[in-house]
Amino acid sequence: MTPSNRIIVVGGGTAGWMTAAALARFCHPARTVTLVESDAIGTVGVGEATIPAIRNFNNALGIDEAAFLAATGGTYKLGIAFEGWGAPDEAYMHAFGVVGRGLGLLPFHHYWLRARADGLAKPLGHYVFNTVACGANRFAHIDRADDSPLPPVPYAFHFDAGLYAKFLRGFAEARGVIRVEGRIDHAERSATGDIAAVVLDGGTRVAGDLFIDCSGFGGLLIEREMQAGFEDWSHWLPCDRAVAVPCESVAPLVPYTRSIARRGGWQWRIPLQHRIGNGHVFSSAHLSEDEATATLLANLDGAPTAEPRTLRFSTGKRRRAFVGNVVAIGLSSGFLEPLESTSIHLIQTGVNRLLDLLPAGPVSAATRDEYNRQFDAEMASIRDFIILHYHANGRIGEPLWDQVRAMPIPDSLTERLDLFRAEGRIFRRGDELFDVPGWVQVMIGQGVIPRHWHPIADQASPESLRTFLDTIEGAYLKDAGRLPEHAAYIARFAPMPPQQEPV
């Protein structure tokens, strides 16, 4: 075989099977894909909330949405509700999609800021369609005409990550991916220092040309063998533990994730068809594991259906995600807490980057450098967005929150905050994940209110501003009211078969 024709994926779970499925779908049959995993090694499997880009991944693979949702107990997601972040008794929504509607040259939020100063504006979420739909627990697929004054409705999913991996395994194996069961004992190196093969406990040797490390936090190949190094970001993001537990479903079935700030961290709530996923991310320097577990169990909406389990993590990234002939994807490449549901997205972008830069022959230094450059930029951008939530908090008198509010932050985030505070301006940098509407919703939602707005917004009269805002709010309320309830839509479109529900 020519170089790079034998691709070995080390580790299963969501990362491994997303990688294997994509390689099977897009690679020439001459390239073989083998996945090595052990049933004896558990997977993290708590990344059950996604962002809209996951639809691109599923669509590229040709996956039917209804079949996927039914197989994974999936529900729809229109955004994330942040409760208690700006202040203990306040909440806002980071909804997918546009904020308001543009008027002339300016983004909507400049007109909203002007109207707010005149006492004419309601909270920003009144002018975000997905937020309005979330408030009514409504969802349906909506196809807007090109000339429609109403915005598109971007959506994502909540799903059982373990069932998603199982679903993708079936997809991948049907397209020729070979699964090898076993625990890896060690790796063999070539004369160049690359990985030549992985050797299992029983002595089975799995040789390859390109190795994809999806082994999780430990980085079996990228760190233990290739010594990529780790860049620690815990001085900005001090949470280092999470306790997770599922509970019984309760009504209503909401089309959004909840992120609830707690004394020593925050709690997630992810509604699935057959259960609710819950977790408490916390700082062990500010909260004990017993306290975190007790807080989580006291704030479940239904009876727990399993024992709580604790995860330990270090926030940060590998200094290099592509070393030699090893590419790290998923938790092996780094970790950012799932505050903005980016865990599965980072797997997806890692897979996309791998496909974009898939070597035609021996791996070149230029290919590795470009992969690592893109990886570094993406991780830093998402890092800044997550730091923003902590730094802009209004939880006065709680040690964790006082610490992160006062801490020095990256220069890249300081520049954004300074520009927004001064004149309400925010710009997307390159192809970074979060666009202007996301930054605006989080900043304003957490009390970062600009001192000024764009001067062009001053041309609008108070009467025209009031009419403009009232028209948007009225249209969104009316349109959302036409949609079916989320639970009813799921039951009709993609119900989970009873036999797939866990016993």
φ/ψ bin of 428: left (φ > 0), alpha (ψ from -120 to 50), beta (otherwise)? beta
CA distance 79 to 298: 25
Upper half-sphere CA count for residue 69 (Cβ side, 13 Å): 24
Nearest to 460 by CA among 98, 105, 151: 105
Q: Which two tokens stand for residue 93?
A: 């929504």
Torsion sign over Cα 228, 229, 233, 234 = positive
Contacts of 178 (CB under 8 A, 6+ apart): 32, 33, 34, 35
Helices (H) and strands (E) in the chain, counts: 14, 21
Q: In terms of DSSP H, where are the helices of 243-391? A: 289-298, 343-356, 365-391
- CA pair distance 450, 422, nearest whole angstrom: 6
Q: Which residues are known to be catalytic?
A: 77
Helix (H, G, I), strand (E, B) or coil at 437: helix
Phi, psi of 125 (to 5 degrees): -60, -20
| β-sheet bridge partners, residue 277 | 246, 270
Euclidean distance between CA atoms 24 and 35, whole angstroms: 11
